[in-house]
Structures are given as C-alpha cells and as structure tokens.
Amino acid sequence: MATSTGATPAYLLAPEVSALLWYMPDQRHHMLFATMWNTGSRIGEARTLTPESFDLDGLRPFVRVLSEKVRARRGRPPKDEVRLVPLTDGSFVRQMESWMVTTRPRRR
C-alpha cells in the first residue's frame, strides 16, 4: 500500500482498490465501494445516492452527489449543495447499469 510516512496508509492505488473489490463477496458492498472510488464521495454521500442520482444514458454519464454538510468557508461548497460528478470509467458505468437492472436497488 502507498504510505506517506511508511507507518500507516495514506491512500490506495488503483490496483490495490481493484484487489479489494475483487475479494468483496457481497455485491451490494462491492457496488458501494466501487461508487465511492469512482466518484470520490464519502460514505455518507454515497449512502444518500438513489437510482435517480445516476444519469448513465448520455454520452457523458454522471452522478448527482449531495455534498455532506460542511461549514461555509471560502472555497467550500455551501450546505446541501449538489455536485455533478462525471463517471469516466466505462467499465464501472456498465457494471452499475447491469446492477441497477438486475437487483433493482431500493429507493429512499
């Protein structure tokens, strides 16, 4: 794993994330972590996503992520701001489309 000081991991590299996803037995958890990896969202942001949050049909697929509440500071988004995050990994987009069709995730 990549480390900043050698003591604790600071971040994961793409091959390390792929290995983690490969060994996740639960498909729901797999898709949650794959979504977090592909969107850069936090767990709270990822858990608020619904099938309606995803626009996978167009030429440039994207997901609408509701930003977690943060203190309004210069350069920070205001509370409850929606971010449009492009999905650049075609493999993930196809996997998400297939998962939505076959499992019909619950809507909140």
Q: Contact 40/85 with Cβ under 8 angstroms?
A: yes
High-pLDDT (> 70) share of the chain, %:
78
The CATH number for 11-103, chosen from 1.10.443.10, 1.10.150.120, 3.40.50.720, 2.60.40.1930, is 1.10.443.10
**More confident: 6 or 94:** 94
pLDDT at 1 over 60: no
Element (H, E) at 86: strand 82-86
Least confident of 16-20, 75-79, 91-95: 75-79
Burial of 66 (0-12, 13-18, 19+ CB in 10 A): middle
Integer Cα distance of 106 and 108 in angstroms = 7
- The predicted model scores a pTM of 0.76
What is the structure's pLDDT at 10? 76
